[in-house]
Structure 1
């Protein structure tokens, strides 16, 4: 089939893909967005498991474009997946974006052509094979787009429904009155557990590490409430990139131990009452640096959780006396009534450290101590974060090198948006960006603005090949590692460091200097005329 030609090819139809489609089109560029789902939404197209909802509250989990937020009303402080899908549909309709997209089509390969300075992209889907080329390739697959399913012996033999939370079927799965097993207590595990627990005949949860979950503080909102706050929306959006986490609040900029014990207790109580991530990313700024501060934060968190769990054995598994890791160094999720579920007689909690899973049987799960029978088995086992969205496609740069080979000994990026040996390739919300420590849309708009400005600069200056130098990428990686090493993050075996995937390189996948500092650093690259990049024009004799 003939290859369609574009200025830019965008992979992914979530916040990142939509942002670039909107703003590159405003520059007059001809773009094509390719999305595996049937509509916009990205991760929120696939996240439809019971209880799936965002952990950033309104109005920050949306685009900051006035033409969008002025016409949209949410119904909850933390919107659920159905409302998020409705929001993405609204954005697509409002800005008439679908005509620039190819849905139900998964990108299989993207190869750099060093003679023509373009990317050749191939996808496949409902409408068959599709080929496109573009001067620029923008990968917006998100940091958690590839579900991780552990190699459990006998997994394929289970006779009932067995599903990963990230690939929950549209038609749903009946769990009412069923015996349900859930492996994993990460964010999706917590959300599924608190939704299924009240109506399942019996629920058995297999836990390796307790989730240090925070109270969501959910509540309903209406048009009148949002209309009252809309006059300050622009001020809120302007503040987001000035804070550590791209949120509407920031760390307390004084050392915890400079306050008295009574003052710290009062701070913790106030933050806890606010709900959401205030207790984490609105706490003292040395929470992820100073162990003494971190220990006090954990002790307060544990006290709050223990008040809600009646059974002493379950209480110790869910909120152990000795912290399983520094607080906040594995991502805490938000919960509504997660801990109360464990007070139900029909809910069991299995510690797989003490009773490892041996195999999945046709009827359920067998551990070293017991065999459990289930009607439904749920795998809340996480994702191959940061790099999975890249390595699941055949992505090749200079000299035909694959991204998998390029990152075999560890990820190298420049500014968390480009990587050496892959010219004209850009990405958002990925490795070595503020990603997991930043509100998603804030990160996307910050990085996306840089990418759009850079592509405009290249176009205006006739530059067709733009590649970060090896030296710049290595220096940035060193800088990123130094920022991470100054924290307690390496003390936790988490997906922040790649520890959730067997064989994956353990390293700092997040920029931990904070969004405000990151914004200054990437702006400096533009102000200095892009010193970290090599540039060129194509070989005209081969055009």
Structure 2
């Protein structure tokens, strides 16, 4: 078998893979995207469960290339999965991406060759084994590409239909008129529950931790409105990398407790009325006149750092949500008097009518923190107290985030070291884009990158750094480029210090890996803010890459 050779191989065909392919092709590099599924879209190839939609409002959840946004309009403030898939098809058609992609090919191993300074890669797919080599390897697998299914005893014995939301069958699952159980109330759980609750015969929701969801405030957006706002799109896009959360506004620049209780209440109510993430750290773009977006602010700057401020925000949230829940027992489970964790330290989900679903007679809420699931039986779900008979079981149990997809790979760096061995004691990266001891390997929107960060914005900030770096190496004849262990450990300490200065350590979440029972908890993200993160990674370039070691190979071409 002849092994194909490239300048760059990109693993993953979502936002990250597409971004790198577009820009590296423009530099004249020979590239190939390897995608496990049959089409582009990444997360949005699979996100087809009932009610699936993005929680970032337009126009920030898209590529910022003018040749793309100028010719595209959305139909809703928060687009659904069908429209996201249509968008990826539009991008593909506009830029002819398919010709440089290989689909239905799942990477089985990637090994570094220290003699030739290349990565050797093998894939398994419908066409058999595919092998290739490349000077550079970019992993664009996303932070949430590996679904997490707890080790439920007896799951394989269930006689009805079941699926994880992240692997929803393309043909769908009929839930109308069925007895349905949903395990989990994270983002996909909230969306599924509010979507199917109206037409199922009976719905049983198994909740471990209440979701501190905020109202989405969804509405249709006409093409005329978007055309009216497009003159300021470039201003909006430029602002995304200058704020804490990669959004076109920032925190109220003062501690919450400097305002009186009446002032805080008025501020909270204003943010709440706007819907979406406004009460957390986002404000609306298209609800304001052109050019007014630069004046907008989000919640108070110490919301995620000061316990008293966070408690005040939670109290307001609980008051607003409790008004919508009739049953006192459900009210305490969904909006408990004592906060289950600091507000906002889990990404708040956006809901349309989630809480009203629990006012229906055909919906039961089971607290599995007190009444745990013992096993899945052929008939349904058996908890400590009783067995719930079901026709359909939906697992909305989240993802093995950030490192999960890496740990499934046979990925070997210098001296044949595996990624599993390298990260056995702790996760180390440098700048959240490279891994010490793994030369010429880059990744985006993965472990130790910035959070919170809008996914396409994160991809473009990190992707721009990767592309500039690859071009720098090419211009200087450097064929092997490795971040040092010292730089990685220093960055790890930096990550930890930023994390520990917030309220995030008080929460079991994907931000510290605690959502997966088999993981040791550690800081998974950079919490210094997107604007500071961008400044730090650009300083690495400006200072001549002090955290890296470079080497030139005489045979500089593959």
Alignment TM-score, normalising by the size of structure 1? 0.99
Residue 288, structure 1, aligned to residue 304, structure 2: yes
Alignment of 1:348-363 (within 5 A): 348-363=364-379
Give the C-alpha shift of residue 138 in structure 1. 0.2
Pick one of 526, 532, 536 that aligns with 1:511. 526
Distance 1:236 1:312 in 2: 44
Q: Deviations over 1:463-482 (max 9, x none)?
A: 00000000000000100100
Cα drift, residue 2 of structure 1: 1.3
Counterpart residue number, 2:362: 346
Structure-2 residue corresponding to 1:318 = 334
Structure 2 CA distance for aligned equivalents of residues 244 and 276 of structure 1: 17
In 2, the alpha carbon distance for the partners of 1:354 and 1:147 equals 25
SS in 1 for 2:131: strand
SS of the counterpart of 2:499? helix
Which of 474, 479, 486 is residue 494 of structure 2 equivalent to?
479
State the alpha-carbon separation in 2 of the partners of residues 269 and 313 from structure 1: 26
Show structure 1 runs of 4+ deviating over 3 A. Answer: 539-543
Q: Which residue of 2 aligns with 1:454?
A: 469
Contact 1:116–1:539, Cα closer than 8 Å, also in 2:
no
Partner Cα separation in structure 2 for residue 288 and residue 542 of structure 1: 49
User: Within 2, Cα distance between the matches of 1:542 and 1:524?
Assistant: 29
Q: Residue 115 of structure 1 contacts residue 542 of structure 1 at CA under 8 Å; is this kept in 2?
A: no
Output the CA distance in 2 between the equivalents of 1:326 and 1:224: 41
Deviation track 1:197-252 (CA, whole Å, cap 9, x = no partner) reads 00000000000000001111110011101000000000000000011111122111
Structure 2 residue 102 is the aligned partner of structure 1 residue 102: yes
Q: Deviations over 1:427-458 (max 9, x none)?
A: 00001101x41000110000000000000000
How much has 1:542 moved relative to structure 2?
A: 13
Q: How well do the aligned residues superpose, as a CA RMSD in angstroms?
A: 1.1
d(CA) in 2 for partners of 1:149, 1:508: 22
How far does the alpha carbon of each residue in 1:235-283 deviate from its partner, in whole angstroms, 9 at most, with x for none? Answer: 0000000111111221111110111111111111111111111111121
Q: How does 1:75-154 map to 2 (within 5 A)?
A: 75-154=75-154
* Structure 1 spans left out of the alignment, 5+ residues: none
Q: Aligned equivalents of 1:364 and 1:146: distance in 2?
A: 25
Match of 1:421 in 2: 437
2:552 to 523, 537, 542: 537
- Specify the alignment match of 2:63 in structure 1: 63
Determine if contact 1:116/1:542 at 8 Å carries over to the other structure: no
Provide the C-alpha distance between the structure 1 equivalents of 2:73 and 2:17, rounded to a whole number of angstroms: 23
Q: Which residue of 2 aligns with 1:18?
A: 18
SS class of match (1:279):
coil
**Cα gap change, 1:525 to 1:354, in 2 (>3 Å):** same
Q: Which residue of 1 aligns with 2:48?
A: 48
CA distance in 2, matches of 1:474, 1:437: 23
- Distance (Å, rounded) in 1 between the aligned partners of 2:231 and 2:461: 22
Kept in 2, the 8 Å contact 1:48–1:168? The answer is yes
- Secondary structure at the aligned position of 1:209 is classed as coil
CA positional deviation for 1:541: 12
- Checking the alignment, whether the CA contact within 8 Å between 2:34 and 2:106 is kept in structure 1 is yes
- Cα distance in 2, alignment partners of residues 539 and 167 from structure 1: 46
Aligned residue in 2 for 1:161? 161
Aligned to 1:55, the other structure's residue is in SS state: coil
SS at structure 2 position matched to 1:49: coil
Q: Does 1:402 align with 2:418?
A: yes
For residues 153 and 57 of structure 1, what CA distance do their matches in structure 2 show?
Answer: 39
Give the Å deviation of 1:330.
Answer: 1.5
The partner residue of 2:517 within 502, 514, 539 is 502
User: Distance between the aligned counterparts of 1:46 and 1:269, measured in 2?
Assistant: 36
2:205 is paired with a residue of what secondary structure? strand
How many residues are paired up?
542
Match of 1:180 in 2: 180
Q: 1:347 and 1:217 mapped to 2: Cα distance?
A: 24
**3-state DSSP class of the match of 1:522?**
helix
2:193 is equivalent to residue 193 of structure 1: yes
Tell me the secondary structure at the aligned position of residue 509 of structure 1: coil
Q: 1:524 aligns with which of 539, 544, 548?
A: 539
Q: Hey, what's the Cα distance between the residues in 2 that align with 1:292 and 1:464?
A: 52
Say if 1:409 and 1:505, in contact at 8 Å, map to a contact too: no
- 2-side partners of 1:64 and 1:540: how far apart? 38
For residues 433 and 542 of structure 1, what CA distance do their matches in structure 2 show? 31
Q: For 1:540 and 1:143, locate their aligned partners in 2 and report how far apart those are by CA, in whole Å.
A: 35
8 Å CA contact 1:58, 1:78 repeated in 2: yes
After the TM superposition, which of the residue ranges 123-132 and 139-148 deviates more from structure 2?
123-132
Instruction: Give 1:442's aligned residue.
Output: 457
Distance in 2 separating the partners of 1:191 and 1:409? 36
In the alignment, the residues of structure 1 paired with residue 500 and residue 347 of structure 2 have an alpha-carbon distance, to the nearest angstrom, of 17
SS of 2:124 mapped into structure 1: strand
- Offset from partner CA, 1:302-348 (integer Å, 9 cap, x none): 01100111001000000000000000111211111100100000000
Please report how far the alpha carbon of residue 538 of structure 1 lies from its aligned counterpart in structure 2 after TM superposition.
Answer: 2.5
Given that residues 477 and 556 in structure 2 are in contact (C-alpha distance below 8 angstroms), is that contact kept between their aligned partners in structure 1? Answer: no
Report the equivalent of 2:318: 302
**Residue aligned with 1:278, SS:** coil
1:542–1:15 CA distance, 2 compared to 1 (3 A):
closer
Q: Is the 8 A contact 2:479 2:556 kept in 1?
A: no
Judge conservation of contact 2:44–2:81 (CA < 8 Å) in 1.
Answer: yes
Question: Contact 1:115/1:539 (CA < 8 Å) preserved in 2?
Answer: no
CA offsets per residue over residues 114-144 of structure 1, 9 Å max, x none?
Answer: 1100001111112221111110000000000
Unaligned segments of structure 2, at least 5 residues: 282-297
2:5–2:132 CA contact under 8 A, matched in 1? yes
